[in-house]
Structure 1
């Protein structure tokens, strides 16, 4: 059961055009939606989760019309928003049991088995009797996944799930998500490139409400082979380089500035070829370089 999004647009009452004719084909498995803050990711996620209707376009989850059949979607939907609240004085197993009732699991023994399974799956069984107010950020995120997994959803949406997690919690959380992508459509909305690189077999890059690139991460990286060059320079030289070259990214390295540029050929003295990675793909897409890549016949690769 895949997800088909066609020409979806959304404008808010304040005049902000959050989505512009977004079209995507999302197969089962882990799918990354990558973009900066304010790119339209959360708007698209809320639309897919039936929390708001698009102004135009169609969305289908298999045979289900997401726009017209909201209740049918919600029966098979798991949604972990960017921010969600918990009852801090409630114990984890009690609150999950309560949400299971709301999800329609009325049989007590079935509900007890479901709660235990999900708490074990999210590695929260040993702390099931602790109050949620004492949970770390990562533990709360994993509890949110447990809630989202009630009812064995065919569509699971997680919005910026690793923001604010420490490195250890992030690894545990990503390992959990990777397991979930085996049987469902799992959409990971994030601005963290590493999350998509480590988890997703397919992805899209969105900015200002428009899809800039739809690709497999490996295919997109391969398309940049031979086009990314790097140079270690001083910060004062950066403005001149920006005038001469198409800079993809610039970051500090040992007190100096490491510049990555996009170019079809060696850009000049001091530059050396760089092995591209998904961060280069991300910034190249934001800079519009993939339009140039797509014009080259040799680089038409499952983008």
Structure 2
């Protein structure tokens, strides 16, 4: 069961065009939606989760019309929003049991077996009696996944799931997500490139409500081979380099500034070729020099 999005647009009352003619084909498995804050990711996720309607366009989950058959979608939907609340004085076991009732699991034995299985799957079984108010950020996120997995959803949406997690919790959470994409569509919306690189077999980059690139991460990285160059320089030299070359990223390294440039040939003295990664794909796409149009232009200049 795939998810098919066609020409979806959404404009808010304040005039912000959050989505503009978004079209995507999302197969079963882990799918990354990558973009900066304010790019339109959460708007698209909320639309897919039937929490708001698009101004235009169509969305189908298999044979289900997402816009016009909201109850049918909700029967097979799991949604972990960017921010969600819990009852701090309730235990994980109690609250998950409550949500299972709301999901329609009225048989007590079946519900007990389901909640136990989900708490074990999310590695919370040993902490099931602990009050949720005492959970760490990562534990709360894993509890949110347990709630989202009630009813074996065919569509699972997770919005910015690792923001604010410490490195150890992030690894545990990503390991959990990696197990979920075998039989359902799992959409991971994030601004963290590493999350997509580690989990997703397909991805899209979105900015200002528009899809800039849709690809397999490994293929997108391979397409950049020979186009990415790096140079270690002083911070004071960065403005001049940005004037002369297509600098796509700059970060501190041992007190100096490491820049990556996009070019079909060596940009100048001091630049060395570097194997591209998904971060280079992201920054090149955001800079407008990679993607369906940018890549063609670069290839035309080089060849």
**Structure 1 match to 2:64:** 64
Distance 2:22 2:9 in 1: 7
Which consecutive segments of 4 or more residues in structure 1 shift more than 4 A?
295-298
- Equivalent position SS for 2:158: strand
Which 5+ residue runs of structure 1 have no aligned equivalent? 299-303
**Structure 2 match to 1:186:** 186
Post-superposition offset of 1:183: 1.1
For 1:84-95, what aligned pairs fall within 5 Å after superposition? 84-95=84-95
1:279-298: CA deviations, max 9, x gaps?
00000010011122145779
**Structure 1 match to 2:259:** 259
Distance 1:181 1:171 in 2: 17
**Structure 1 match to 2:281:** 281
**Structure 2 match to 1:293:** 295
**Structure 1 match to 2:166:** 166
**Structure 2 match to 1:301:** none
Distance 2:209 2:131 in 1: 39
**Structure 2 match to 1:154:** 154
Could you tell me the TM-score, scaled by structure 2's length?
0.97
* Paired residues of 2:263 and 2:298 also in contact (CA < 8 A): no
**Structure 2 match to 1:139:** 139
- Equivalent position SS for 2:179: helix
- Equivalent position SS for 2:283: helix
**Structure 1 match to 2:228:** 228
Post-superposition offset of 1:33: 0.3
Distance 1:218 1:11 in 2: 33
* Paired residues of 2:231 and 2:270 also in contact (CA < 8 A): yes
Distance 2:171 2:49 in 1: 26
Distance 2:295 2:94 in 1: 53
Could you tell me the TM-score, scaled by structure 1's length?
0.97
Distance 2:237 2:165 in 1: 36
**Structure 2 match to 1:73:** 73
Post-superposition offset of 1:32: 0.3
**Structure 1 match to 2:197:** 197
**Structure 1 match to 2:249:** 249
CA 1:248–1:297: 2 relative to 1, 3 Å: closer
> What count of residue pairs does the alignment treat as equivalent?
298
Post-superposition offset of 1:148: 0.1
1:213-253: CA deviations, max 9, x gaps?
00110000001000000111111111111111111101111
Which 5+ residue runs of structure 2 have no aligned equivalent? none
The answer to whether the aligner puts 1:130 opposite 2:130 as a matched pair is yes
- Equivalent position SS for 1:37: coil
**Structure 2 match to 1:4:** 4
Post-superposition offset of 1:276: 0.3
Distance 2:237 2:91 in 1: 57
* Paired residues of 2:88 and 2:133 also in contact (CA < 8 A): yes
1:66-111: CA deviations, max 9, x gaps?
0000000000000000000000000111100000000011111110
* Coordinate RMSD, CA, aligned: 1.0
1:13-33: CA deviations, max 9, x gaps?
111100010001100000000
**Structure 2 match to 1:33:** 33
Distance 2:130 2:257 in 1: 47
1:157-192: CA deviations, max 9, x gaps?
000000011111100000000000111100000000
- Equivalent position SS for 1:7: strand
Distance 2:107 2:299 in 1: 59
